[in-house]
Each structure stands twice: as C-alpha cells, then as structure tokens.
Structure 1
Amino acid sequence: MHRYISEIQRVGYHHAPLEKMAYALDEQFASRGKKIDVPKYVSHTL
C-alpha cells in the first residue's frame, strides 16, 4: 500500500507503475489473450 500511494503522489494515478500494470493485466484478461503467469509477470515488471 505504501508503494502504491507513493507512486500516485509522485507521478499521478494514470502514470503510476502499479496502476499501469493492473490495467495491462485487465486488458489481457478482457481480451481473452494468451494465458500468462501473473506472479512471474508482476515480479518481472516490478
């Protein structure tokens, strides 16, 4: 939570890396794209 709030305060909601990641994962899911390993994606993206 601390990281999330810090990112939003520092760069704003729409530019926060955790928000960008969440939207990318949501888009992947909604488009019924190729299945991905979410924990691996998150650890690689962070």
Structure 2
Amino acid sequence: MSVMDTLKVWHDGACPLCRTEIAAMRRLDARGAIRFVDAATAE
C-alpha cells in the first residue's frame, strides 16, 4: 500500500468521545487504510 492509498485522521486522544469513535473506525478499517494520529501526543 502506498502513501496515496492511506488516509490520515487526526483525533484528540484526551477526549472520551473521540476515543470511542476512533475505536469503532479502527475495527471497520480492515485494510489498514487509515492512519490514526493522536493530536494530543503528536509531535
């Protein structure tokens, strides 16, 4: 899979609602096409 085949999703890992939504999205992303980035801890 190339860089162009992935989607980067920034989220707030400190937010309980965001964590729940991202967990659901991770389960649905069977191809691993989404790269999840926690904005609370990202450099």
Which of the two has greater strand per residue?
Answer: 2
Considering Cα pairs closer than 8 Å and 6+ residues apart, tell me whether 1 or 2 has the greater RCO: 2
- Tell me the TM-score normalised to structure 2 length: 0.39
Larger radius of gyration: 1
